């Protein structure tokens, strides 16, 4: 009987193999050996004096032709089987890779690769490989729920911290009006708590032109990049946001564009949230049904309510002034509420 065990750490000298669970554009990548009619995940023996991560990268290239990819360790695995090394427990390291680009030819004993929507039935090692994938799933490297295909994020106060921009805007309102920043802030907060846009209402009440949005003060939340990186291994990631022209370029400058599969921004589309048409555009271009999508945002009025009407699942990220929204109706209740992006990982 074959036994497969998993460990977090072990002496590096005991690692003899590297196995890589690979995905490409949300699909599985499997290999077929020239002498077999079965499918397997990429992997192989560690060479003398080779770092185990280099083993994984080499095997991934040789067996799939992957030349541009992100790779991360998952855990240590071991196999004990009567017909494997005389029944002695042998150890390897399990990795996850997101492949971006393939070379045209494969330089190994592999006949071909297949990019699949579903897992194969005819495994080369049926007592081992499915258990490796299940462990990767438990450790949050693979999908838990097949019904969720796409995650759509808002940008402002969801992925990007706008606190300093609002502070700058309120300070300039204070200068123009002759009031103190503290007075303006307190005044704005009273509007936010009343489910209104505080900075807009204060400027209007004081007869002040709303100061320009100074985007140079925008910053990523500290957990944005890590959250998107982890979720993009499992789901397709999109953006539905009310943003000015150039959203894709700004997200590229923040270093997170590579985790996004689709960007739907109001300036480019000519329609803004909460209009259902911007959600329809996103679902149409992603070829995703509403029930297979999740909308994640800080605004109840712009994100949660319209997405729920569309039939999407919803997550309210209680960041920024949107966190002050006072829920008054069942239609405003999100499926999940979190205080930051990292908390989303506990649910998806």
The string of DSSP letters for 234-262 reads TSEEEEEE---S-HHHHHHHTT-GGG-SE
* pLDDT at residue 1, as a whole number: 80
Residues 268 and 330 in one domain: yes
SS (H, E, C) 21-65: EEEECCEEEEEEECCCCCEECCEEECCCCCCHHHHHHHHHHHHHC
In a domain, 145, yes or no: no
- Terminal alpha carbon distance of the chain: 34
Please state, as a whole number, how many other Cβ atoms lie within 10 Å of the Cβ of residue 158: 25
Residues 232 and 313 in one domain: yes
Residues 272 and 247 in one domain: yes
- The span from the CA of 155 to the CA of 32, in Å, is 42
Q: Which of 50, 215, 30 is nearest to 124 (CA)?
A: 30
* Structural domain count, the chain: 3
Residues 24 and 70 in one domain: yes
Tokens of residue 262, six digits? 């689709």
Residues 130 and 9 in one domain: yes
Provide the CA 16 distance to its chain's centre, in angstroms.
32
Q: Which of 287, 277, 336 is nearest to 309 (CA)?
A: 277
In a domain, 323, yes or no: yes
Residues 113 and 209 in one domain: no
- pLDDT tens digits, the chain, 348 residues: what are they? 889 999 999 999 999 999 999 998 878 899 998 888 899 999 999 999 999 999 999 999 999 999 999 999 999 999 998 877 778 999 999 999 999 999 877 767 778 888 987 788 888 888 899 899 989 988 878 765 457 889 999 999 999 999 999 999 999 999 999 999 999 999 899 999 998 998 989 889 999 999 999 989 999 999 999 999 989 988 999 999 999 999 999 999 999 999 999 999 999 999 999 999 999 999 999 999 998 999 999 999 999 999 999 999 999 999 999 899 999 888 899 989 999 999 998 887
DSSP 8-class letter at 287: T
With vertex at residue 196, the alpha carbon angle to CA 191 and CA 200, rounded to the nearest 5 degrees, is 80
Per-residue exposure over 176-195, b if at least 16 CB sit within 10 Å of its own CB, e if not: ebebeeeebbebbeebbeee
- The span from the CA of 135 to the CA of 19, in Å, is 13
* pLDDT at residue 242, as a whole number: 95
Residues 35 and 72 in one domain: yes
CATH number reported for the structural domain that contains residue 249 in this entry: 3.40.50.1000
In a domain, 31, yes or no: yes
In a domain, 78, yes or no: yes
Residues 20 and 36 in one domain: yes
Q: List CB contacts of 289: < 8 A, sequence separation 6 or more.
A: 283
* pLDDT at residue 274, as a whole number: 95
Residues 230 and 319 in one domain: yes
CATH number reported for the structural domain that contains residue 97 in this entry: 3.90.79.10
- The span from the CA of 69 to the CA of 22, in Å, is 9
Residues 156 and 273 in one domain: yes
Q: Which of 152, 170, 343, 171 is nearest to 265 (CA)?
A: 152
* pTM flag (> 0.85): no
Give the phi and the psi of residue 175 in degrees, each rounded to 5: -60, -45
Q: Are 7 and 90 in contact (CB under 8 A)?
A: no
Tokens of residue 17, six digits? 């193999």
Residues 155 and 229 in one domain: yes
Q: Which of 54, 60, 76 is nearest to 135 (CA)?
A: 76
In a domain, 247, yes or no: yes
Q: In this structure, is the dihedral angle defined by the CA atoms of residues 85, 87, 88 and 89, taken in order, positive or negative?
A: positive
- The span from the CA of 19 to the CA of 41, in Å, is 7
Residues 105 and 176 in one domain: no
Give the phi and the psi of residue 133 in degrees, each rounded to 5: -65, -40
Q: Are 231 and 237 in contact (CB under 8 A)?
A: yes
In a domain, 143, yes or no: no
In a domain, 23, yes or no: yes
In a domain, 144, yes or no: no
Q: List CB contacts of 63: < 8 A, sequence separation 6 or more.
A: 31, 42, 43, 44, 106, 108, 110, 113
* pLDDT at residue 234, as a whole number: 84
The whole domain housing 200 covers 168-215
């Amino acid at each position: 009987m074959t036994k497969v065990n998993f460990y977090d750490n072990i002496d590096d000298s005991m690692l003899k193999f590297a196995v890589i669970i690979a995905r490409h554009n949300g699909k599985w990548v499997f290999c077929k050996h020239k002498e077999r009619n079965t499918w397997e995940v990429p992997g192989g023996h560690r060479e003398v004096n080779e770092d185990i991560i280099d083993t994984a990268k080499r095997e991934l290239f040789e067996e799939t032709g992957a030349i541009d990819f992100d790779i991360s360790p998952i855990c240590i695995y071991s196999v004990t089987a009567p017909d494997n090394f005389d029944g002695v427990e042998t150890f390897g390291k399990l990795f996850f890779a997101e492949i971006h680009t393939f070379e045209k030819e494969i330089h190994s004993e592999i006949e071909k690769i297949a990019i699949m929507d579903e897992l194969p039935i005819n495994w080369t090692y049926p007592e081992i490989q499915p258990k490796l994938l299940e462990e990767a799933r438990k450790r949050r490297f693979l999908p838990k729920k097949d019904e969720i295909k796409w995650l759509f994020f808002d940008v402002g106060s969801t992925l990007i911290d706008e606190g300093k921009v609002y502070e700058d805007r309120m300070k300039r309102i204070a200068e123009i009006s002759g009031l103190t920043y503290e007075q303006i802030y307190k005044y704005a907060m009273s509007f936010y708590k009343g489910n209104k846009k505080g900075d807009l209402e204060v400027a209007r009440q004081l007869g002040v032109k709303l100061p320009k949005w100074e985007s140079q003060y925008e910053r990523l939340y500290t957990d944005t990049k890590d959250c998107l990186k982890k979720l993009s291994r499992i789901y397709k990631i999109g953006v539905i946001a009310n943003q000015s022209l150039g959203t894709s370029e700004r997200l590229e400058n923040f270093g997170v564009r590579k985790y996004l599969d689709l960007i739907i921004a109001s300036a480019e589309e000519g329609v803004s949230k909460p209009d259902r048409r911007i959600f329809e555009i996103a679902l149409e271009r992603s070829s995703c049904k509403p029930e297979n999508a999740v909308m994640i945002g800080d605004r109840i009025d712009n994100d949660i309510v319209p997405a729920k009407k569309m039939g999407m699942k919803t997550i309210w990220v209680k960041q920024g002034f949107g966190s002050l929204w006072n829920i008054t109706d069942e239609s405003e209740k999100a499926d999940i509420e979190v205080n930051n992006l990292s908390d989303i990982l506990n649910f998806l």
